[in-house]
Chains A and B, each alone.
Chain A
Amino acid sequence: MKLNVSNTPALMVSHSLHILDINEPALVLISQTYKDVINKSVENFFTCPQKISLKQLNAYVNQTILLEVDNKPFTALILPQQESTFSIILIDQQPQDKTPAEHKNQVIGRWMYNTIDRTFQLSKTCAALLALEQKTAISLDYIIENLAKSDTGQVVNAFKEAGINKQPFSLEVHTKHSLDVAPLQLICHGLQDESAPTLLKGIIKRNIYTQKLDCKLDEQHERRGRALEGGQIGTWSIIHYKNEMSVRWDSQTCKLLHLPATNNHGSICTWINHIHPQDAPSVKAAIEHAFIQNKDFEREYRCILQDGSCIYIYAKGVLSNDSRTNTSFLDGVIIDHTPIYEARMRLEESNLLLEAKVKSRTAELDQAVKHAEMASQSKSEFLSMMSHELRTPMNAIIGALDLLTDQDNSFEEQELLDTAAIAANNLVSILNDILDINKIEAGKLELDCFDFDVSKMLNNIIVIFGPIAEQKGVKLKVLESDNLPAELNGDENRIRQVMFNLVSNAIKFSGNDSSNMGLVSIALSCEKVNALVSKLIFVIKDDGIGIDKETLKKLFTPFTQADKSTTRQFGGTGLGLAICGRLIELMGGEIVVNSEVNIGSEFTVSIPIWNFKPRELQTLYSCITLFSNINDTPEIENLKNKLSFYCNEIIVIPINSLTSYDTSSENLNILIATSMADIHELDSCSFTPHDVLLLYKRDLFEQLTERFKKTFKLNLDTLTFFTLQKYCLQLKERSKLEFEPLQEDDFAINLDLTTEPNNDSPYQLPLLVVEDNEFNQKLMVKQLSRLGYNCELASDGLQGLKMWQNNDYALILTDCHMPGMDGFELTRQIRKFEEKSAEIPIIAVTGAAMKGDQEYCLSVGMSDFISKPVTLAKFKNTLEKWYGN
């Protein structure tokens, strides 16, 4: 077969892709001679973006592929021939500036049009693009039938003209297919070749990217439409141009506002007209504000529908500008918020109801709190009253017992009096506990802090509990750390109260088993927390009955004891530990309890302390000699550490060396007896008993007392800094006194009874006692007389005031609560009369014991305060303080 396609470059290739024939234009194109190319591989002269293969040729039969010659792209039409050969016609040269991407996005079909019989030959792609099945001899009319009506005119005219002038043209056409939105480009290249003047050639191409994009856009548009419709969201757009605002809105907005679909645009006033008259001005102002300030728009407002009903709208718009046209756009959405608004309204209603309920409940609670406070107040007042009412008779009882004790009583009588006095004091103590817990729970307890000697406080506890423990067969042991401060700032009374309670409990619950003697240890130490704060720690440990876990949990709850049997066996109100717990809490400290049933309990209390004075050296002796057969035991080491504060040197030597010792006032000799063997050794030694200090173990006390009656003795187990210092000072003082000469006049006496007994008293001016209770009057007169004071009586404040105006008194003792004029009013009146003259001391003597009462007394002008029961010692201390001052 001979290829003869006139001026169009063409070639014929075998199935092995060898060139079988080639025409002249093709040889010119590749710049080769016929013999040079025949039977040569087509790849030697033509390149393809995809490798040329038989498979590819078969795949592109009747279609075009891209071939390059000297880097020039050509569209090549593949036509099948006989015996698996192919004709390749290089139809036209592709524009060089087209990028592969553009090719990629283009689908091109070829056509040839016979202007005589007005029929088309279509390539397969071309037929596909026009949605036709037929490819050959297709009439122009048939083609036109398949195009959109709007395009038919221009296509008919174009081919008519081209049939005459054979000139190229280009049109945009649409097929009838409903999905075929993107236009096709119909291009006529002119004549096929000069030799065939009736054949026009051309292409139809479609940019599939644009089509895809259009499809996507349509899809998105549809989706958006569905979403907006589903969400009942309408869209609108306000265009602002040259101070004019026009609005367009979509069909969904029309639906929302119940408007006809055609009513979808208008001026801003048309838009505003749909808005509730009350909201319209503010919405308009907000839109204008958005344009002026170039800000977005957001508003909630009501719209009036045609039927007169009202819906709630949420509108939001975003502002944009087109600087080219000097136009601004506010594009936004409106959402029907009516259901949300209604829900919100219902919620607000519910909230209002709830608030009303809460208010009502709060009022009820307030009422309940007021009732509770009133009840608490009544309880406090009752306790305060009870305190006063009980203390007044208790005052009489304790005072009377005090006086009776001073009389000449038989042993049995004295025993009964002591019992009654102990019982009365215990009763006052219980009363104090009840008042304390009441004060703590009412938050009225205040700490009264001052500097105090903690070792002295510990010694007071030992003095009180020593005999009690002794009687019960419980051994007391005290351990003070060396770093214990000399003085610390705190509420001594409250700290003592805590320690008192814990030690009392420890003794109470120890040594109850006859086989077990019982041991209670009290350890006192100081621990530094940081540069400013330290902790006072005291640990009270016993080997008593212990506490079970359940009881431990409620140990600090008022009126709680281990169980009822505990109360029956050991007594107590169950208030002690509750008070301790609260007091420690109030002091910012903590209490930790470790206990095991039948093993014992350990209470560790730590209280923060800020201001304290460290113990300083107070050299009383140049040397202290310890005569001891034991050395290096913790007890002796502890003793040496304590003694080192009072001397320069400490020597320890055995007791048998006591035959020679230094008796000078610069030396202190301390004998330590820890066993009977030590006592026997002491018996054989010669020493002056009054210038030594004897330290002993508790079980040797009786033996030593019989032998060394005049010797200062201290229990080694309960030794404190305070006692040690006190005895060292006394021994030092005694050694000095021994050398003080006595005079004969020292033994002269004055027994003169011819004058009034009270004239012996140094207290010449009488006291004025203002007291309404007759018994208390008598008691106070007796007590004051016993102390050497004269006194005169007034039964109430009014009488007291008159007597003070008419007589001269050294001081006034007054009850606070009396009928008529009470003690407070009496004080106010006296202070008023005194004006600038010297104030007479006025001392309140009252059954009230609250701290506030004392402060109140002082606030009205009283000088001091004594709480009942008033013992002789209390009277003595207070009167000595104020008498003559």
Chain B
Amino acid sequence: MEINTLDSLKTLNEDVMLELLGDDRDEINSFRQQFLVQAKNSLQKIAGYYRQNQIKAIKDEAHYLKTSAKAIGAERCAYYLQQLEDTTQTHATENIRKQQCRAYIESLSNEIKSVFHACNNK
């Protein structure tokens, strides 16, 4: 079910921005650029929190970035962020929870790279 859900999502769904802002390319590009700047910072913060075992901070940062990801149509990115957020709140043992977080953070990192390429190819 998870894979199916993920498969149906796009790295960068252009329709989302078009619906929000209309056909203003400059403005759309500007928003995407801002997202990438934000994503870069948030990703480093999340990695730091992971190393320091600050689970609540990971959740907050993931939640913060997720809103932006959804706004620009980075659907897969938003998905990983949602998963990361959920994982921080599971009742699993700390080890399992950390392993899950690690996996999602790595996936998130790769996915943001994909968004970066997608944005640059547009």
Q: Does B47 contact A738, Cβ atoms closer than 8 Å?
A: no
Q: Does A690 contact B (CB under 8 A)?
A: yes
Residues in A whose Cβ lies below 8 Å from that of B39: 747
Query: Contacts A406-B54, A757-B52 known; A690 to B47 CB distance under 8 Å?
Result: no
Task: Let me know if B27 and A738 touch, CB within 8 A.
Answer: no
Give the contacts of A787-809 with B (CB-CB under 8 A).
788
CB <8 Å contact, B105 and A749: yes
A737: chain B residues at CB < 8 Å are: 37
Partner of A749, one of B43, B53, B57: B43
A407 to B43, CA, bound (A): 20
B25 contacts the other chain (Cβ, under 8 Å)?
no
A residues within 8 A CB of B37? Answer: 737, 740, 742
Q: Which residues of A contact B112 (CB under 8 A)?
A: 747
- Given A747-B112, A751-B51, A690-B40 contact (CB < 8 Å): no
> Could you mark each residue 405-439 of chain A with 1 if its beta carbon is under 8 Å from any beta carbon of chain B, else 0?
01111000000000000000000000000000000
Say whether B55 faces chain A, with CB atoms less than 8 Å apart.
yes
Complex CA–CA separation, A408 to B50 (angstroms):
14
Chain B nearest CB from A223 CB (Å) reads 116
CA distance A688 to B33 in the complex (A): 13
Asked if B56 and A408 sit within 8 Å, CB to CB, the answer is: yes
B27 to chain A, nearest CB (A): 6
B57 cross-chain contacts in A, Cβ below 8 A: 406
Against A, the Cβ 8 Å flags (1 = close, 0 = not) of B98-122 are 1000100110010011001100000
User: CB-CB contacts of B22-51 with A at 8 A, as 1s and 0s?
Assistant: 001001001001101101100110110011
With beta carbons under 8 angstroms apart, the residue of B36, B47, B54 that contacts A751 is B47
A744 interface residue (CB < 8 Å to B): yes
Query: Is the Cβ of B55 less than 8 Å from the Cβ of A747?
Result: no
A244 within 8 A of B: no
Interface residues of A in 714-762 (CB under 8 A from B): 737-738, 740, 742, 744, 746-751, 753, 757, 760
Q: Judging by beta carbons under 8 Å apart, are A744 and B116 in contact?
A: yes
A750 (CB) vs chain B CBs: closest residue: B47
Q: Per-residue CB proximity of B71-104 to A under 8 Å, as 1/0?
A: 0000000000000000010000000001000100
Q: State whether A742 touches B30 (Cβ < 8 A).
A: no
Contact present for B40 and A742 (CB under 8 Å): yes
Smallest Cβ-Cβ distance to A749: which chain B residue: B47
Cα separation A246 to B52 with both chains bound (whole Å): 120
Q: In the bound complex, do residue A408 and residue B105 qualify as a contact, i.e. CB atoms below 8 Å apart? A: no
Task: Tell me the bound Cα distance from A754 to B113 in angstroms.
Answer: 25
Q: How far is the CB of A403 from chain B (nearest CB, A)?
A: 12
In Å, the complex CA distance between A343 and B113 comes to: 113
Q: Which residues of B contact A710 (CB under 8 A)?
A: 34
The distance in angstroms between the C-alpha atoms of A688 and B31, with both chains bound, is: 9
Quick one: given A407-B56, A748-B109, are A738 and B51 in contact (CB under 8 Å)?
Answer: no
Q: List chain B positions with a Cβ less than 8 A from chain A.
A: 24, 27, 30, 33-34, 36-37, 39-40, 43-44, 46-47, 50-57, 59, 88, 98, 102, 105-106, 109, 112-113, 116-117
**9 closest residue pairs by CB, A with B:** A408-B56, A749-B47, A747-B112, A746-B40, A749-B109, A747-B113, A742-B36, A760-B51, A744-B113
9 A-B pairs with C-beta separation under 8 A: A690-B30, A742-B37, A744-B117, A747-B39, A749-B43, A749-B105, A749-B106, A751-B106, A753-B102
Residues of A within 8 A of B (CB): 406-409, 686, 688, 690, 710, 737-738, 740, 742, 744, 746-751, 753, 757, 760, 786, 788
- A742-B37, A747-B40, A749-B43 given. 15 additional CB < 8 A pairs? A407-B56, A690-B30, A737-B37, A738-B33, A738-B34, A746-B116, A747-B39, A747-B116, A749-B46, A749-B47, A749-B105, A750-B51, A751-B105, A757-B52, A788-B52
